[in-house]
Amino acid sequence: MKKYILLVIYSLIVVNLLAQKSNFVIEGIISDGNGNAIENVNIYNSTNIGTVSDRNGEFKLSVTSLDKELFVSHVAYKTKRIFIKRDLIENGTLFIRITLEEKPYLLNSVDIAGSNDWQVIKSKKTWIYDYELHGENLVILLHDSAKYELKYLDRQDSLLFSYVLNERKVNGFIKDGLGNIHIGINDSVFQLYITDNRIGFYEGVSQNDYEKLLQPIVADTDSLLLMQYLALNNQKIIYLGFNKTSKTTIPIAEVISKEQYQYSLQAKEQQLKSYGVNIMGDIGPKELVRYREFYQWGSYIDKVATLPIYSPLIKMEDGFCIFNLVDNKIDHYNESGRLIKAVNASFNASKKILSIEIDKFTNRVYSIWKTSGRISIDEIDIDQGSIKKSVQLKNYTFPEKIIMCNSNVYFLHKDLNSSRKLVRIPLQKLIAF
């Protein structure tokens, strides 16, 4: 499983590594108690000069001077402090073998075999707060007036296990660009640890750290971590690729809505003027107070007009595509980030697309959009940029969190009884139009 510790390492350590001139080399192998190599382990000294172990558990760290100790950490293992023995250095090189102890942070769990959970999901007393797909299995967050509860169902909808969360504030699930599922609890974000018979948490990070470190990663290939950043009042998307081998960053693409950006600037200027602030003149004490009140209150433009433009990057089997919905095109890239071709996105004629989703089991791509108050789902021919087939969710108003999986559409729906249900419908049963 890919760990978000990668981003912390890359963002905080790479600059130091490239800038240092080495006099000593520390190398070695990291494994668990069973002798299995551990990948993506963070090895660093007291000045944050460090490196990462590869898939064979091997690492190599070049430093200008030797500290008395070395730190070894991984999100799934206990951090270990290694004391440097200078008498073991030969020709400026120190070789060490390191064994880490597992730190799963597992929750206690209850195994329930053979029971069907759809009656629980459809209960009028239960509110389905959120859900995510773990492969073809379901992770469901239930909520009633007294508690939150996690449930894990297999593809036959049988309940495998469940656990009650004794927390007052649970913010729902987040699926990162590497496919890991996280859950927000209070002001922290925890990555879920899921096996066949239990569920637990890895050590959490703050919401702020998650947004800074992990949220920008939208996908990865064998050679690149693909990252997305917003600029110009959220009206410009910048896609970058971080090369895992050379540890260098390359530009991939930029998408900008100049018209929306100009509109956001004009709207913000009008809002400031409505508060008595002349942004072209000097700001005195009275203007400063009004300026502060303006931002404390929060304007329409901050909440609506500066919503990010939507042009997602989607990982495919042989590379990735950027669905540029501003310029109406699909850009195809190979695994190394080289642009292969661009095709016209005629499927975006309505300009009302809510999201682009990929079914990772069939590798088919769908656009989700609203027409006449109903949700439509179009299968996209990504090589032609056209629509292959269209269906509608005619019997469901305002479905939430639509996910495509193995030719099924999943979504949350609030019915007339004010209960919130999780619905799964095979695509072949939906009405074409």
Question: What CA–CA distance (Å, rounded) separates 323 from 344?
Answer: 10
Position 195 confidence tier, pLDDT thresholds 50, 70, 90: confident
pLDDT at 418: 60
Q: CB–CB of 191/178 below 8 Å?
A: no
Min mean pLDDT across 130-144, 231-245, 285-299 is at 285-299
Enumerate helices (H) and strands (E) in the chain, giving the number of each.
6, 33
Q: What percent of the chain has pLDDT over 70?
A: 76
Q: What is the pLDDT of residues 22-39, one digit of tens each?
A: 478 889 999 988 888 888
Residues near 414 by beta carbon (within 8 Å), at least 6 away in sequence? 398, 400, 420, 421
Q: CB–CB of 272/294 below 8 Å?
A: yes
CA diameter of the chain: 77
Show the tokens assigned to 59.
Answer: 């690492």
Eight-state DSSP code of residue 146: S
Min mean pLDDT across 217-231, 272-286, 345-359, 392-406 is at 272-286
pLDDT surpassing 60 at residue 118: no
> With the CA atoms of 338, 388, 360 and 190 taken in that order, what torsion angle do they form, in degrees rounded to the nearest 10?
90
Residues near 246 by beta carbon (within 8 Å), at least 6 away in sequence? none
pLDDT surpassing 80 at residue 302: no
Query: How many CA atoms, within 13 angstroms, populate the side-chain half-sphere of residue 211?
Result: 7
Beta-strand ranges (E) seen in 117-258 are: 127-134, 137-143, 148-153, 158-165, 170-175, 181-185, 188-194, 199-201, 205-206, 217-220, 224-231, 236-243, 249-256
Q: What percent of the chain has pLDDT over 90?
A: 29
Burial track 40-74 (b if 16+ CB lie within 10 A, e otherwise): bbbbbbeeebbbbbeeebebebbbeebeeebbbbb
pLDDT at 64: 75
Min mean pLDDT across 72-81, 113-122, 203-212 is at 113-122
Pairing of strands 137-143, 181-185: unpaired
3-state secondary structure at position 265: helix
Q: What is the pLDDT of residues 383-404, one digit of tens each?
A: 999 999 998 887 777 788 999 9
Give the closest residue to 423 by CA, choosing from 397, 407, 399: 399
The verdict on pTM exceeding 0.75 is: no
Task: State the average pLDDT for the chain.
Answer: 78
**Region 269-285 average pLDDT:** 52
Question: What CA–CA distance (Å, rounded) separates 279 from 281?
Answer: 6
pLDDT at 13: 38
Show the tokens assigned to 261.
Answer: 């950006």
Show the tokens assigned to 100.
Answer: 């880490």
CA angle, residues 298, 231, 288, in degrees to nearest 5: 35
